[in-house]
Amino acid sequence: MTKKKILIINGPNLNLLGKREPEIYGNQNFEDYFKTLKKQFPRLNLKYFQSNHEGALLNKLHEVGFSYNGVVLNGGAFTHTSIAIADAIAAITTPVIEVHISNVHAREAFRHHSFFSKHCAGIIVGMGLTGYELALRFWDRKTPTSAF
């Protein structure tokens, strides 16, 4: 059986996970966490991409967005600012799950609005790095739910 192709995309400043505001984002860097995810989901073909550049994130969504089975996207601060990325999520056919490590709704008001959510298959916030794992479980399940 061919494995489902899933890309995890992290946006700006998420390359600093483990060093950046650990009281909010934790102590683990994403590269290490990604290794554990790959072991945890042997039935998925998992790839990882991170960029601090809006255009690079757009290009990556365009590149995978008509062939991959899923995208897990933490757009970082672009979530709250980027109509261009929201348009890309709407344009592609691959379902996107929006993930935020922190509970954005318990933080500053400017973090409460996401331009992406409307176009996403689902949203996971405030579960720490476990949020990525929960998103991957959606594609790892054996029996599809009726909605997708």
Q: What residues make contact with ligand DQA under the rule CB under 6 A? A: 13, 74, 76-77, 79, 100-102, 104, 111
Closest to ligand DQA by CB, 51 or 79: 79
Closest to ligand DQA by CB, 45 or 121: 121
Whole-number minimum distance, CB 126 to ligand DQA, in Å?
8
Instruction: Write phi, then psi, for 29 (nearest 5 degrees).
Output: -85, 155
Which residues are within 8 A (CB) of 10 and not within 5 positions of it... i.e. 6 or more apart? 17, 30, 48, 49, 50, 74, 76
Sheet (strand 96-100) strand order: 44-50, 4-10, 70-74, 96-100, 122-125
SS3 call for 119? helix
Question: How far is Cα 19 from Cα 75, in angstroms, rounded to an integer?
Answer: 18
Whole-number minimum distance, CB 145 to ligand DQA, in Å?
25
**Any catalytic annotation for residue 25?**
yes
Closest to ligand DQA by CB, 4 or 111: 111
Six token digits for residue 111 = 């973090």
**Any catalytic annotation for residue 80?**
no
Closest CA to 70 of 95, 40, 90: 95
Closest to ligand DQA by CB, 108 or 141: 108
Whole-number minimum distance, CB 90 to ligand DQA, in Å?
19
Whole-number minimum distance, CB 62 to ligand DQA, in Å?
21
Indicate which residue of 48, 100, 119, 132 is catalytic: 100
Residues tagged active-site: 25, 100
